[in-house]
Amino acid sequence: MTAASENGSRRSLWRGRLMYFVYWLVRVDPELLSGCPTIDSFQTISKAALLVAVAGIALFAWGAFFLLFWPVWIAIPLTLVVVVWIVLIDQFMGAARWTLHGVLAAPGKGRGLTRHGTVILRLVIGVVTASATSFSATMAINHATIDEQLQTDRDAKNAAKRAEGEADKARLREMMLGEWDAEVRQAGAAVAAAQSRLDTARLAVNVARSQITAADLAANCEILGGPGCHRGKGPQYQAAQIRRAKAADDQRQAEEQIPVLESAVDAAGRKWQQAQAAVRAHEAAFLEAAKQIDERVAREAVPPRLDPVMAYLALQKVFESPEGPAASFYSHLILTLLLTVELSYVLISEYFAHASVYMARLIARTKILATKAAEDYRRQTGRDDDDDDPPGAPSFWIAPRFPQRGSDATA
């Protein structure tokens, strides 16, 4: 066998396997389909492609959703289970009702109540699965907004816990060190007051010295007859001497106060140091208790975490925020889009099927085989068609028939 023939055989094998998967996916009998028009094959391939697209959307939505909350080794199996479940549900619902459409459907009564009830049930199941898929996709798409809202909530809660811890430490310090802290504050106030008086006295000395210098300059100007002065010891000279005497007296008094005030500052400083030493001596127990409060606050702090309930609550807060209308509109848009995608396979299978020769052959063969099975049952059990069945006995007569004009299309 040549290489070209081997490659052709492999391609044929893979093509056959692919088509077998397509037939399984849309629940089509390849034996019956082989004798049908090509349009039936096109319909089969199109339905399979649509179901694969629905599966791809579900894979994206649920995969992104699960990966937000769980590690890969948990998210991937869960995603596969959910996607397979959705595909199988759509597959079963899409192939659940065998009816003839288009020119093959019998005119007349239209759809009966039983058929409508079945369709409604199928749509309810589809809406539930589609809603779950679309909401998971909405949360996955809006994960950045959800994370920001969760971070804001987490910061607010942790700030409140830290404020509570600081208040607890303040009450504990007041209880354990309040007396010594009060002494420190009083001693510190005394040091500040004594230092202020000392600074005032030193400033007074400097001011007095400046006044003495100014008075001496004015007196010399009068004696020597400088610019703007009258030579001699006139009234201005006497006034300058008086100002000098007053400034000298102020200087003397301020200089006499400085040693006393310096002693007061030193005494107040020693008392403040003693109070500080007393606080340090009793502070060890408080620091240990404060450390326990800090550890408690750290334990109670809200860590960065994410679960479906927290994400849902955060999304609701986003909807209630000033940006809520835009976020809500986008969420509803995604929901509507994914609902349409999720329900498309079921709706097309139910309402938009073409006039299929394959379906006619499938119904005919099924009824013929059922009739043969009933005949075999009667023959093997020794029952005759003319025998009267006892009341309540099941009927095994199945007549293969297609809808006739004027009859119900679902007969």
State whether residue 13 is helix, strand or coil. helix
What's the CA dihedral at 181, 187, 193, 198 to 10 degrees? -140
Residues 132 and 172 in one domain: no
Final residue before a domain boundary, out of 336, 356, 376: 356
- Token couple for 163: 């404020």
**pTM surpassing 0.85?**
no
Is residue 153 included in any domain, yes or no? no
Query: Would you tell me how many other CB atoms lie within 10 Å of the CB of residue 171?
Result: 11
Report how far residue 200's alpha carbon sits from residue 264's, in angstroms, rounded to the nearest whole number: 14
- Token couple for 257: 């106060």
- Cα–chain-centroid distance for residue 231? 94
Is residue 274 included in any domain, yes or no? yes
SS3 sequence of 282-330: HHHHHHHHHHHHHHHHHHHCCCCCCCHHHHHHHHHHHHHCCCHHHHHHH
Is residue 90 included in any domain, yes or no? yes
Report how far residue 386's alpha carbon sits from residue 130's, in angstroms, rounded to the nearest whole number: 52
**Domains of the chain: total:** 2
- Token couple for 280: 């340090």
Residues 32 and 129 in one domain: yes
Residues 242 and 335 in one domain: no
Report how far residue 143's alpha carbon sits from residue 64's, in angstroms, rounded to the nearest whole number: 10
Is residue 52 included in any domain, yes or no? yes
Residues 281 and 187 in one domain: yes
Report how far residue 89's alpha carbon sits from residue 95's, in angstroms, rounded to the nearest whole number: 10
Expressed as residue numbers, the domain containing 248 is: 159-300
Report how far residue 192's alpha carbon sits from residue 210's, in angstroms, rounded to the nearest whole number: 27
User: How do the pLDDT tens digits run along the chain, 411 residues long?
Assistant: 566 666 667 777 787 788 888 888 888 888 888 888 888 888 888 888 888 888 888 888 788 778 877 888 988 998 899 889 888 888 887 777 677 766 676 665 444 434 555 567 666 776 777 677 767 777 777 777 778 888 888 888 888 888 988 888 888 888 887 777 787 788 888 888 888 888 888 888 888 888 888 877 777 776 666 666 666 666 777 777 777 788 788 778 877 788 888 888 888 888 888 878 877 777 788 788 888 888 888 888 877 776 677 777 777 777 787 777 877 787 778 777 777 777 777 777 777 777 778 888 888 888 888 888 888 888 887 665 555 555 544 454 444 444 444 444 443
Report how far residue 319's alpha carbon sits from residue 341's, in angstroms, rounded to the nearest whole number: 25
Residues 42 and 103 in one domain: yes
Residues 276 and 329 in one domain: no
